[in-house]
Structure 1
Amino acid sequence: MKTLFKWLTRLFLLAVLVIGGIAAYGYQQWQKLEQMTVVPGETPLFVVARGETTFHLINRLSAEPVPALTRRIWLRFHPELAAVRQGTYKFDPDTRLRSALMAMVNGDVYRLQVTLVEGLRLSDWQQRLAQAEYLDVTLDEEVTEAELARVLGLNTDKLEGRFLPETYSYTPGDTDVSILQRAHDEMERFLAKAWAERRPDLPIATPYEALILASIIEKETGIAEERPLIASVFVNRLRVGMRLQTDPTVIYGMGESYDGNIRKKDLQTHTPYNTYMIDGLPPGPIAMPSKEAITAALQPVDSGYYYFVAMGKGEGRHYFSKSLREHNNAVRRYILNR
């Protein structure tokens, strides 16, 4: 009897030790998961594919495999981590596993931004998109406007000016075309609203003509409060049949031959965009106009101005004149320093 009692005691103690060991090991593994930080891969980005589970992601995020039983038990006590969302995430190296998984549950996908600046050309925008971080570039460098229009499903051969300058958010894997599609759609919406709210007496027949005028205004001044005045000059000229005579259109028409200077022969060379040689507006926009430039084109202030000249003081401001005589005096003062 005593012998049996001794054996039972030993078995009990052994069981206690085994259970205690298992408990200690389990607690150690639990604490390991609680304290674990994610392991960065080749890039700081982490992609969760459709259908991936938290159970699987734990091992992808850890430095070494975690036993299946440990993962199941840990997740049983963390039911809030059960449903992760697909997407691309970015984690710092010291991010805790639990925090990383919670970000995936909340869908806190990593978003980047690209700013498409007003006053630039479509070709400039394409270069900017080609350099954007983690953006999938699908457009060839030599793609024409007509080819891009077909990719976007647009029935036109001319896209200059048809995209709204803004800062656009995107996630890794989005394409350059998707950004341009959004920029085009945003421009269509804004232009339609601005056109509906335009002044009724403007010498502009279509929303596209408004884009053309706005692009010229955009290139002529970067000072917000000057835009309505610049617009008034061009509107006044259009009303009386005066040529616009604006240098940015000449530059656009010169294309690759522009070397930073406009010479007298350039002003006298006929191109569809040389507003010193043609009447009215050029055939298309010369840059991407901002919302402010479009608003100025469609809601210019009333003024008697027909001329303006840069004051040349480093601020980019202009002097506005109502007569040619006043304008010539301003040119002598601000340009010729006489």
Structure 2
Amino acid sequence: MEAGVVQHSILALASMPYLTVQNSYLERSMESRRKRNCCFMVYLEGLDQEKNEKEIETGNIQKAFQKFRRKRQEELQMLRGKKLSIQSRLQDPDYRWQLRMRFLEQAKSYIGVPYAKKYHEPGTPEYESPFFLDCCGLIRRVMRDLQSEFGFCIGPGNQAYQYDTLPITLPSEEHMKPGDLIFISGTYFDPERRRQFHDIVHVEIWLGSGERSLGARWKRGRLQIFDSYRFVSPSYGDMEYHFKSIETWLQGTCVSILSLIWGFKFKDVIMISKTFVAIERCNLAVAAQIGHKLLFEIQWKFIQKCQITS
């Protein structure tokens, strides 16, 4: 019995380290598994939270877009109503006459504004002027001041563009009304200077009495009233005077035949000028070659414009 007990005790003692190690390993393994499960659960919770945040963010974006869309539709509807109201008012001859007078008075409010900064010395009152107006700049400024009354915003083109938007040509100053425009066509003395469309080089506002006009004529001068719209220019000759009624503007219409060309870059304008020069020199082959490329670009820009506005 004693030998058996001793043997059993030895075996029990011999097995204890193994059991201890095995139990310790099992405990560590279970702890590690528990930690992994916790980490996985935390990861899943993080994914769920991120998903919820994204859903909330997406929902907020959709709500914001819907709000913006509703606001935009309301604005467009209001603008349509405003446009119809303006068009209705512009059908009234009395209202158009009042608008013509407002156009004239608004132009007079800029008397004294310098022509351009680069023609004045630093430190002079003209150089320090808050803004400057040349001949076409005056017309554009006044039209944009009154765009809510006219019902449109005039484009950024120069005097040639403005001439192009006024289809009613009057035979003489006797047929003009106060506020109508006097355009001057001419040829630049400098052969390197770019030719203007329609050869229009200057514009002034007729005041309605005799030959008196309002405009920005001299580079180092200011916007002023002149006793006569007729003058001798040091920059261009072969001057001709064109009398244009602003009646179409007063009716809310401002459309240019060359509206696509006014949006071209400078290199495109050079191409157009080269076409004109080639035609004048009877070099029809060169004109056709340039004109074909120009026509393609005009068509392409027209397609792009339609896609944007549609």
Structure whose CA Rg is larger: 2
Give TM-score, length-normalised by structure 2. Answer: 0.25
Give TM-score, length-normalised by structure 1. Answer: 0.24
Which of the pair has the greater relative contact order for Cα pairs under 8 Å at 6+ separation?
Answer: 2
Which has the larger share of helix?
A: 2
